[in-house]
Structure 1
Amino acid sequence: MNISVVIPLYNAEKYIVETLDSLMNQTYPIDEILVVDDCGPDRSAEVVKEYSKRHPIVRLIQQPHNQGGSAARNRGLKEARNKWVLMMDADDTIHPDLLRNQFELLGQYSEAKPAPVCVHPAYVQTDAEGNILANSEYRGQQLSYNETFGSLLVRNYIITPSGLLLDRDAALEIGGYKTNFFVSEDAEFILRLSRKGTFVYLDKPYVYFRRHPMSITSDLKKASNAGKAILEVYSIDEIKEAIFSRSFVEQKNLLDFITLLYQYQLFDKGFRYLADIKGDEYQQSKLFYQALYYIENNQEIEASRHLDQLLSINDGHGAALNNRAVIYAKDNDSKMACELLESAILLFPGYMDATDNLQAVKEGTQEYRFTKRELRKNLLRYS
């Protein structure tokens, strides 16, 4: 089966050769690599032109003017000559066996209904120089077709286009990437694609997702607005139906729906649903979101009571440690604030809210940030 690769190119002079080398080193043969130049100010295009002289499968496509990453990806998808297209960003790299493993796994889903439309892998994060960050693996899960859309609404586990193997026809049939959607356009595309066919998950961290100042700035802007922007595309009733159509227990579906309501700033509605969370399994989450409701309503005494109760059950709850520390800091108890923040950072290296809050406490700037949802086991790195 022939494979095409699409790479949007913008200000990636420092990294693009490493990205291309990782593609050339694949144990599964690649038929063509389309690099779509989006008219950046550096020498990226010249670097690719020189590279293509040594590797004829690399073809540089030049946009008439800067149009953004979505337009560049769409141009590459339209010009690709093969059914299966591997998407890459110009600063990431992949394991030599990524494509071979993806196609082997895809063969196991040949009878899936509806047919597979993508294969997505796990990831590992690196610093700007390509050094793997400790405890930075980010894994997804294999879901049935009926569960995928709702689960992606709650937590998008496809954190980068890099390593995403797409059915080109399916991607084009849904309209490709939206060029007028400027907040988390990748995630918005993935949500639409999830309603088209089956997602296949490769549980191997074979994409090396590079963190550097330019990507961090972009990701922070997306992270701060992504949930609300994407949720505005879908009605609350549509979201609720998608969440509760999953095969998880009702209490988990309910809690995930509450999480989305909070992301959508519908705190009163979400808080009322919390009354239906019963039993011990989700008690910690219930306490956390009750506390967050009181924080949003500036009732910090009541918020503290719920956070203290939660921390008495689980003193390793990172988001609760951070939020309780912020309240201590606002009450001028810097000693307790620092102790809790240091505990949170020790438990969750790379926890940005806690790291920034600790610095704010020590410097006395009083610019604190509450964490609005419970933490993953491994955090995405923004610093």
Structure 2
Amino acid sequence: MPAISVIMPMYKAKKTAMYSIDALLNQTFKDIEVLVVDDCSPDDSYVVVKEHYKDEPRVVLIRQDINQGPAEARNRAFEEAKGEYVTFLDSDDGIIKEGLEKMYEAAKKFDADVVHTTGCFFPVHKPDVMDIMSVPKENYLPQDKDKDIPGEATLLTQDFGVRLSNWLNGTYNGNVWGKMIKKSFIMDNNIRFASIKMSEDVLFSFECLMRAGKYVILPYKCIIYRMIGESLSRGRKDVSYMLKLLEATFSGNDKFTEKMNEIPYFKDNPEDKEKVLKYVNDVMDMIYLVPAFQSVGEDKLLCDDRTSELFIEHFGNQAQFALRCFFMKNAKEPPAPSYLIDDITYEGLNAQLEMYKQSLK
């Protein structure tokens, strides 16, 4: 049984995946397996990688029958992983040569459920460079996250209220790469990636933070993260993109609520759920919704039938109010999520809207 299972979703990544796999095989820590989950790539990525590593027993290829996204690819790998610990690397990223060794040493020292490394490096943007490990270190840009981290591996407090407060202050990054997690902890707590359009890694990391008994902070930057290509978070600014952002926000709220309802801390402290959802919405608003809305404009969004359909699907008979608020506030805030208005009547909402309109005069 390997000590570490590294999970790598792959989709149309034949130009970069082998460099990422090689970075893992060249680690100073050798007792690993690399689970490459091809998410039904339409090109020959699976065939190319399979042929290249046919004589490397540490590389295990898994192929999804249908394309389901990185969340389900990672969930599939959980079922196949044989390692005591699991960690993650995307198929276009790199990892410092001693990265796995450093994380595993900290995990064994504390018998940790989770080891959380402090961020990553961003190489200077060079889309033509497929081998991310070839970028000279002087071109790395450190990730500006994980504030106030101690100078050595430290066991985090088991006071979940303090953990939550630090998370809300942005102290801990929400990425899954750069974290090593005991597989038995994942399976025993039934922690899985949610099939949502954005921030599935943030939700997964958040659940680990709020469940783990032994959570270790390791002040070490080991991941080399590539920022290229289009994704929902870096897509074009049109109506379709805006609607995808709204749908991602709504479904993200629902999944965060669902998960918090299962976590013991929030059963005892239900008032803190609202703080979490407000923080998540504020981040989505600041980074994605406001810039997209300002680019798309109100008229184009209103003219698309899918806009009203989306609000009706999520808010039901409160959809009209939520939609009107969204436009009246000019996307300075996303529409009030359902958890804030479920207990208010539709008539009451319209009365509040009228008061809001009067306040604008």
Interval containing the TM-score (normalised by the shorter chain): 0.5 to 0.7
Q: Is the CA contact 1:74–1:176 (under 8 Å) kept in the aligned structure 2?
A: no
Distance in 1 separating the partners of 2:280 and 2:163: 19
- For the residue of structure 1 that corresponds to 2:116, the secondary structure is strand
Match of 1:213 in 2: 229
Distance in 2 separating the partners of 1:82 and 1:180: 24
Cα distance, 1:238 vs structure 2: 5.1
Match of 1:81 in 2: 82
Match of 2:208 in 1: 193
The alignment status of 1:124 with 2:124, answered yes or no, reads: no
Cα distance, 1:43 vs structure 2: 2.3
Distance in 2 separating the partners of 1:160 and 1:109: 22
CA separation of 1:166 and 1:243: change in aligned 2, threshold 3 A: farther
Cα distance, 1:185 vs structure 2: 0.8
2:176 pairs with one of 151, 161, 168:
161
Q: Is the CA contact 1:16–1:91 (under 8 Å) kept in the aligned structure 2?
A: yes
- For the residue of structure 2 that corresponds to 1:85, the secondary structure is strand
- For the residue of structure 1 that corresponds to 2:206, the secondary structure is helix
- Give the letter for the 1:155 counterpart: G
Q: Is the CA contact 2:95–2:222 (under 8 Å) kept in the aligned structure 1?
A: yes
Cα distance, 1:71 vs structure 2: 1.1
With normalisation by structure 2, the TM-score equals 0.60
- For the residue of structure 2 that corresponds to 1:67, the secondary structure is coil
Distance in 2 separating the partners of 1:173 and 1:121: 26
With normalisation by structure 1, the TM-score equals 0.56
Cα distance, 1:96 vs structure 2: 0.5
CA separation of 1:171 and 1:370: change in aligned 2, threshold 3 A: same
CA separation of 1:201 and 1:47: change in aligned 2, threshold 3 A: farther
Cα distance, 1:369 vs structure 2: 9.6
Alignment of 1:140-289 (within 5 A): 140=146, 141=149, 143-145=156-158, 146=160, 147-155=162-170, 157-197=172-212, 198-215=214-231, 217-218=232-233, 230-232=252-254, 233-234=256-257, 260=279, 263=282
The alignment status of 1:11 with 2:30, answered yes or no, reads: no
Cα distance, 1:224 vs structure 2: 6.0
Cα distance, 1:174 vs structure 2: 3.3
Distance in 2 separating the partners of 1:231 and 1:155: 18
The alignment status of 1:102 with 2:70, answered yes or no, reads: no
CA separation of 1:13 and 1:157: change in aligned 2, threshold 3 A: farther
Cα distance, 1:166 vs structure 2: 1.5
Q: Is the CA contact 1:156–1:187 (under 8 Å) kept in the aligned structure 2?
A: no
- How many pairs align? 260
- For the residue of structure 1 that corresponds to 2:196, the secondary structure is coil
Distance in 2 separating the partners of 1:38 and 1:265: 27
- For the residue of structure 2 that corresponds to 1:73, the secondary structure is helix
Q: Larger relative CO (CA 8 A, sep 6+): 1 or 2?
A: 2
Q: What percentage of residue pairs aligned between the two structures are identical?
A: 25
Cα distance, 1:206 vs structure 2: 1.1
Match of 1:58 in 2: 59
Distance in 1 separating the partners of 2:220 and 2:281: 32
Stretches of structure 2 lacking an aligned partner (at least 5 in a row)? 151-155, 236-240, 295-329, 335-361
Cα distance, 1:201 vs structure 2: 2.1
Cα distance, 1:175 vs structure 2: 2.9
Distance in 2 separating the partners of 1:204 and 1:53: 33
Q: Is the CA contact 1:38–1:63 (under 8 Å) kept in the aligned structure 2?
A: yes
Cα distance, 1:52 vs structure 2: 1.6
Q: Is the CA contact 2:168–2:276 (under 8 Å) kept in the aligned structure 1?
A: no
Match of 1:67 in 2: 68
CA separation of 1:48 and 1:240: change in aligned 2, threshold 3 A: same
Distance in 2 separating the partners of 1:265 and 1:30: 39
